[in-house]
Amino acid sequence: MRIGELSRRTGVSPRSLRYYEAQGLLTSTRSDAGQRHYSDAEVQRVSLIRQLFEAGLSSRVIAMVLPCVETPGDPGVVEFAFATMKRERDRIDAEIAHLTETRDSLDLLLSANSRHQAKLA
């Protein structure tokens, strides 16, 4: 299928699909005219890539874990992907903790502001 059809089937813009390919996340073959052609398997791959982006992973990290999907029987690939995913999960956990602290600080400020407004009224 050509890039337009892959875009329609996945809901991902052609520009994003070209970006995925430039980052090594997606592959295509080229026609004699230079048009990209994708296999049906790329629909599922694009769906996985989108999920990983939505989870907050960068294209660099996604490129490191995708080989685990492609060669799940290779222990070295699986171990590397597992370590990478664990690091990313730990990074996300740290971000969540920081955001929770920030939210708690804002809650204190909101509470103090509400008390101040009540005194002024």
Q: Return the percentage of the chain with pLDDT > 90, whole number.
A: 75
How does residue 121 score in pLDDT terms, banded at 50, 70 and 90? confident
pLDDT at res. 74: 83
CATH at residue 9: 1.10.1660.10
Q: How many domains does the chain have?
A: 2
Maximum CA extent, the chain? 76
User: 23 with 48, same domain?
Assistant: yes
Can you give the pLDDT at residue 66?
A: 86
Domain boundary among 10, 32, 54: 54
Domain ranges, residue 93: 58-121
pLDDT tens digits along 45-82: 999 999 999 988 899 999 988 888 777 788 888 888 88
| CB-based contact 60:19 (threshold 8 Å) | no
Rounded to whole angstroms, the Cα distance separating 69 from 45 reads: 9
Q: Count Cβ atoms within 10 A of the Cβ of residue 20 and give its class: 0-12 exposed, 13-18 middle, 19 or more buried.
A: buried
87 and 115 in one domain? Answer: yes
Mean pLDDT (the chain) is 92
Whether residues 65 and 120 fall in one domain = yes
CB neighbours (10 Å) of residue 117?
A: 9
Q: Are residues 87 and 112 in the same domain?
A: yes
Q: Do both 62 and 48 map to the same domain?
A: no
78 & 119 share domain: yes
118 and 82, same domain (yes or no): yes
